[in-house]
């Protein structure tokens, strides 16, 4: 007999609106003694069935629902992984490198899988996924037929589940030192073992391509470049010169390697620096760019950190606006989940206002289609990427009047 989690009388429970999480504070009592990661049935205060999920007493998110009406079938993980693959096949036709499973957004709570061709990298974000790894690996092997399945479970959120780090080869030979992938016409070498997260940030894929389309003939600054994502797209699409900036020597080394790999190293320079300092320094030196890209790490990982994060975002965006020639573009992103779209745009307006430049919003984009979001669980929607045209100063004639406008016609965003 499956254990039952009985919710408090609270109308309407979050899970009734389609949200897959049951918080500890919503639980009235647990009937039976479920072990870590065990399947449980969730019922409301009147005993009505709300669904089935997996249980972790140690987590604030105590149950993550897998199904609503029926107990999970034995082949549930494989079926849903196959559905996730079908989604990518349709939305990114021909691609062999992408986020293959986006957790709750693909109805696979706690499970992230990135695909680098024949190498799959699994990131378990919950205890329920940890205990199901053998089933999940088997399912991944059947659906994707990979050479290697590698585990990269070192995300800090695992602490909230009572879990430590765990990285190792789960199936096949160990991954190669560089997994080589092709993304929108650019080739990247990826370090899946020691790189950041799973080695590559797939979420910006289509934003990188769209930003690259603005860069023909342009001088570009790619700040927070990691392994070269935006700048390499810019070079592929005809940028005159790209300055890559990152504070991580390992990331920058890979960016340089990737520039060579794509035959564009002669138009690239690489600066290892703290972007906060470097933006200021470039301004002092009078350097200006046609396109500036800002893609920093998440400054706010929690609501409490939002104020400090906003000061950071304001600072780099203000500096970046100053570096853009009139008629040029700022592409600026935030992957801080607690920072909403409106607050993000407000921050940009504030940064532009401080420099008295007129900014025109061309597009506000999010993550690509390999990062689906369950609308009932808006927490999955974290990435904002604004495309802005930087105009004249609107007070005192503008400090930067006389700078040449970007020579080329902008491509479609």
Q: Give the binding site for ligand SAH (CB under 6 A).
A: 196, 201, 204, 208, 224-227, 229-230, 246-248, 251, 274-276, 295-297
Give least dist CB 295 to ligand SAH, A: 3
Q: Which is nearer to ligand SAH, 108 or 232 (CB)?
A: 232
Catalytic (active-site) positions = 335
Give least dist CB 255 to ligand SAH, A: 9
Q: Which is nearer to ligand SAH, 18 or 297 (CB)?
A: 297
Give least dist CB 367 to ligand SAH, A: 12
Q: Which is nearer to ligand SAH, 23 or 276 (CB)?
A: 276
Q: What angle do CA 335, 339, 345 make, to 5 degrees?
A: 95
Compute, in degrees rounded to 10, the torsion defined by CA atoms 281, 285, 289, 293.
0
CA gap 383, 363 in Å, rounded? 13
Give least dist CB 183 to ligand SAH, A: 10
Which 8-state DSSP code applies to residue 110? T
Strand-strand pairing, 39-43 and 289-294: unpaired
- The closest residue (CB) to ligand SAH is 229
Neighbouring CB atoms inside 10 A of 44's CB total 19
CA gap 132, 123 in Å, rounded? 12
Give least dist CB 271 to ligand SAH, A: 9
Strand-strand pairing, 3-7 and 39-43: parallel
Q: Which is nearer to ligand SAH, 67 or 248 (CB)?
A: 248
Give least dist CB 145 to ligand SAH, A: 27
Residue 142 and residue 77 in contact, taking contact as beta carbons nearer than 8 Å: no
Give least dist CB 207 to ligand SAH, A: 8
Which H/E stretch holds residue 166? strand 166-171
CA gap 99, 380 in Å, rounded? 14
Helix (H, G, I), strand (E, B) or coil at 132: coil
DSSP characters over 349-405: HHHHHHTTEEEEEEEEE---TTS---TT-GGG---EEEEEEEEEESSTT-TTTTPPP
Q: Which is nearer to ligand SAH, 207 or 326 (CB)?
A: 207
SS (H, E, C) 176-238: CCCEEEEECCEEEEECCCCCCCCCCCHHHHHHHHHHHCCCCCCEEEEECCCCCHHHHHHHHCC
Q: Which is nearer to ligand SAH, 61 or 225 (CB)?
A: 225
- Which has the closest alpha carbon to 234: 201, 254, 251, 258? 258
């Amino acid at each position: 007999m499956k254990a039952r989690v009985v919710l408090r009388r609270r109308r309407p429970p979050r899970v009734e609106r389609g949200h897959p999480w049951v918080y500890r504070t919503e639980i009235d009592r647990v009937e039976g003694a479920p072990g870590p990661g065990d399947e449980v049935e969730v019922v409301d205060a009147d005993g009505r069935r709300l669904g089935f999920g997996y249980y972790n007493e140690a987590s604030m998110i105590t149950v993550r629902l897998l199904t609503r009406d029926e107990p999970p079938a034995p082949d549930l993980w494989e079926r849903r992984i196959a559905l996730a693959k079908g989604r990518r096949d349709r939305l990114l036709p021909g691609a062999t490198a992408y986020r293959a499973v986006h957790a709750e957004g693909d109805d696979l709570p706690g499970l992230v899988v990135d695909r680098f061709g024949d190498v799959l990298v699994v990131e378990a974000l919950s205890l329920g996924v940890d205990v199901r790894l053998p089933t999940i690996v088997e399912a991944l092997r059947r659906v994707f037929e990979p050479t290697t399945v590698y585990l990269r479970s070192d995300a800090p959120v695992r602490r909230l589940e009572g879990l430590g780090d765990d990285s190792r080869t789960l199936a096949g030979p160990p991954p190669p030192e560089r997994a080589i992938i092709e993304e929108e016409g650019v080739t990247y070498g990826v370090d899946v073992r020691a790189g950041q997260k799973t080695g590559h940030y797939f979420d910006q894929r289509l934003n990188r391509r769209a930003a690259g389309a603005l860069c023909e003939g342009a001088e570009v600054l790619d700040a927070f470049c990691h392994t070269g994502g935006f700048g390499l797209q810019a070079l592929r699409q005809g940028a005159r010169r790209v300055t890559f900036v990152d504070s991580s020597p390992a990331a920058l080394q890979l960016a340089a390697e990737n520039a060579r790999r794509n035959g564009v190293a002669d138009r690239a320079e690489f600066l290892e620096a703290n972007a906060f300092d470097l933006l200021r320094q470039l301004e002092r030196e009078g350097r200006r760019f046609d396109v500036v890209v800002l893609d920093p790490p998440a400054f706010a990982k929690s609501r409490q950190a939002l104020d400090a994060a906003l000061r950071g975002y304001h600072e780099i965006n203000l500096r970046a606006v100053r570096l853009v020639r009139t008629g040029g573009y700022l592409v600026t992103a935030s992957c801080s989940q607690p920072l909403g779209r409106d607050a993000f745009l407000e921050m940009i307006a504030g940064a532009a206002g401080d420099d008295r430049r007129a900014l025109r919003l061309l597009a506000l984009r999010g993550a690509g289609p390999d990062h689906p979001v369950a609308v009932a669980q808006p927490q999955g929607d974290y990435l904002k990427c604004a495309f802005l045209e930087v105009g004249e100063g609107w007070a005192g004639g503008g400090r930067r009047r006389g700078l040449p406008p970007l020579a080329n016609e902008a491509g479609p965003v």
